[in-house]
Amino acid sequence: FEQGLLTLPQTKAGNVQYAFLNEEAQTILRTLQITHMNQGRCSPWVFPSKNPARHLDQRNFYARVFVPAVKAAGLEGVTWHTLRHTFASRLAMSGQTEGTIAALLRHSTTALVKRYAHLSPSHLKTAVETVAKFVDRGAISNWNRDKNRDTVTAEGRERCVSR
């Protein structure tokens, strides 16, 4: 991981794959490896098995590392796929293309990106607000004022209340 790549020795496709890591992820993994070394557990793997020459397999990692971490964080209903959905969604909301998201999820096509990438309501609200910059606010204000469209008249209120 020192070069910004995480080695994934066992994948669904049955081959070794690599995942890019950002600086924060590298720092976390480096700290974890240093912690293991200081405890006398020297291994080339960040998540070694009981035999330090081997890594934890996927099931053992999930049971021994992931599930306890989720519980310790007080999270409910979080699975491995929750992290994939969150990762894809945040990539989408940061403006990454479907091709980039598919590649980072290690999908061969963009077909599954829509299943994983979800836009948050706040992101959608922000997107709608960006359209406002194309509107001449002065023209709208004048239109409302000129036509008395910014307040409900007593007559209009009465018509609506009596229905």
pLDDT tens by residue, 115-144: 778 878 888 788 777 766 766 655 555 555
What is the tens place of the pLDDT at every residue in 20-55?
Answer: 889 998 999 899 888 888 888 888 888 888 888 888
Contacts 24+ apart (CB under 8 A), 89-92: 89/116, 89/117, 89/118, 89/119, 89/120, 91/117, 92/117, 92/118, 92/119
Q: What is the pLDDT of residue 49?
A: 82
Provide the mean pLDDT of the chain.
81
Please state the domain extents for the chain: 1-75, 79-119, 122-161
Q: What is the pTM of this model?
A: 0.66
What percentage of the chain exceeds 70 in pLDDT? 83
Q: Taking 70 as the threshold, does the pLDDT of residue 107 lie above it? A: yes
* Least confident span in 15-29, 74-88, 130-144, 145-159: 130-144
